[in-house]
Structure 1
């Protein structure tokens, strides 16, 4: 115990921050989720009624389905493009410049970025609509969802490339040289040497991509407002509607808890799948 005492003391600031900024807010949200509360009147305890109503709410299931479609579109593209671009840029003379340009959209303020996209890609009067056929994403649900996916990728792809590139540079060059000596081509070397060693980066990108997908809100709010006809009403935007448009803060807290549980479930399942896939 004497040897562990300094370690415990040194970890107290981190543990205190974790409790103050993560655990305590989550416990508070759990408490709110058992209330019928508009934010104006006094809350009324209702137990698990909000969760029961949530499971019977067609709008919730519709937004969950939209969120899953968003994830099925965005997650493979995010992971696949991050790996592909990291491999393609490795060792190139313009590698640093290209990575800087890819990372740049993440530094632009979200409001300015969405305003730029809206100005460029609006089908009727957008700047690019004069030269390119822009799909009617303001009227058709599939194209609206695809627009939000592309905007999300544009914002976060640079981060994914940096994560994949960092892991790629940690792979010893001697392993690739040995593979080439044994007669492997570039594709075989990537498949049997590089890709298995990239597993930790793939796992991290899957978790990050899942969090981005399940907790997406800002791009939907600023680009489509959940439309057209609810085609982009992801869980995050449904949470906003319940809490700040319909003033059902207890119900919104229950949605928050469900989103967190779904995020943890998907992340855990992906990590288990990757772990067993490597055995």
Structure 2
């Protein structure tokens, strides 16, 4: 019994700094948020313990359910496009002479500061006085909910698609070329080789992209805040923006903490369900 413990002790000691950092910056803040969610607190007044009252109000709040529906619509639009375009572009660029340049250009929007990126988009795509509107018809996304949500989805894809392409491309390069050559020798065409060789071996990258895309969708806030402010008429009020309104416009910090816990649980649920679904298809 002493020898296994002696071998594990160095591993435990080397893990302590990472575990300490994780506990200090992740676990402790989360426990604090759980504590805040049981308070009625404006940030200025004395906190008043109310138990699970904030969660009961949350489940009865039509604005919360409306924000959840908007978030799910955003995820249903953005997630398939994010995963599908990442894989399609990685396949199209594989082995091309301009591959590195194209990937660099795709990744570049993610390096631009968020404020500068949204200001550029607003200047270009504003229907009334945007630079693009002088040459092309721009849908009235500042007045119609569908187009406003579409603009937020396109902006999110523009920002993060380069990362998805890099992940898919890294997995593609790990696939042995001999497997594809053997498939072609056996008479498989490009579609059959992709379906029966490339796609199954891409499953780990697809699972990772699905989880990352789910987190981006369920915790989206910045693009909505800077581009649409939840409008028009609440059409882009995702859960992240609803959380901002509750905490920093209505000064219901305890209620906002309860919304934070619910968003985290939803993120974990969807990510876990999607991972189980992808694994069950292996």
Alignment gaps of 5+ in structure 2: none
Q: Distance in 1 between matches of 2:118 and 2:149?
A: 14
Q: CA deviation at 1:215?
A: 0.1
Match of 2:75 among 47, 71, 89: 71
Q: How far apart in 2 are the matches of 1:99 and 1:42?
A: 52
In structure 2, the partner of 1:195 is 199
Counterparts of 1:263 and 1:182, CA distance in 2: 43
| Alignment match, 2:140 | 136
CA–CA separation in structure 2 for the residues paired with 1:154 and 1:32: 36
Could you state the TM-score of these two structures normalised by the residue count of structure 1? 0.99
CA distance in 1, matches of 2:81, 2:21: 34
- The Cα of 1:12 is off from its aligned counterpart by 0.5
C-alpha RMSD over aligned residues: 0.4
In the aligned structure 2, how far is the partner of 1:153 from the partner of 1:272? Answer: 25
1: CA distance, partners of 2:38 / 2:10? 40
Alpha-carbon distance in 1 for matches of 2:32, 2:213: 26
Find the residue that maps to 1:2 and give its secondary structure: helix
State whether structure 2 residue 113 is matched by structure 1 residue 112.
no
**What's 1:173 paired with?**
177
Offset of residue 228 of structure 1: 0.1
Map of 2:130 onto structure 1: 126
Cα deviation, 1:60-79, whole Å, max 9, x if unaligned, reads 00000000000000000000
Q: 2:7 aligns with which of 3, 23, 27?
A: 3
Provide the rounded CA distance (Å) in 1 between the counterparts of 2:176 and 2:64.
48
Distance in 1 between the 2:89 and 2:21 partners? 36
Aligned to 1:14: 18
1:206: which partner in 2?
210
Please list the CA deviations of residues 86-121 of structure 1 after superposition, one character each: whole Å capped at 9, or x if unmatched: 000000000000000000000000000000000000
TM-score scaled by length of structure 2: 0.98
Cα distance in 2 for partners of 1:87, 1:18 equals 37
Q: Aligned partners of 1:181 and 1:18: how far apart in 2?
A: 51
**After TM superposition, which residue ranges in structure 1, 4 or more long, deviate above 4 angstroms?**
none
SS in 2 for 1:91: coil
Aligned to 1:26: 30
Match in the other structure for 2:65:
61
1:91 equivalent among 87, 95, 103: 95
Number of equivalences:
278
Q: Of 161, 179, 186, which aligns to 1:182?
A: 186
Shift of 1:181: 0.3
Query: Hey, what's the Cα distance between the residues in 2 that align with 1:183 and 1:24?
Result: 58
The structural deviation recorded for 1:83 is 0.2
- Cα distance in 2, alignment partners of residues 21 and 166 from structure 1: 30
Cα distance in 2, alignment partners of residues 21 and 224 from structure 1: 31
Indicate which of 138, 147, 154 corresponds to 1:150: 154
DSSP 3-state at the match of 1:3: helix
Alpha-carbon distance between aligned partners in 2 of 1:248 and 1:233, rounded to the nearest angstrom: 17
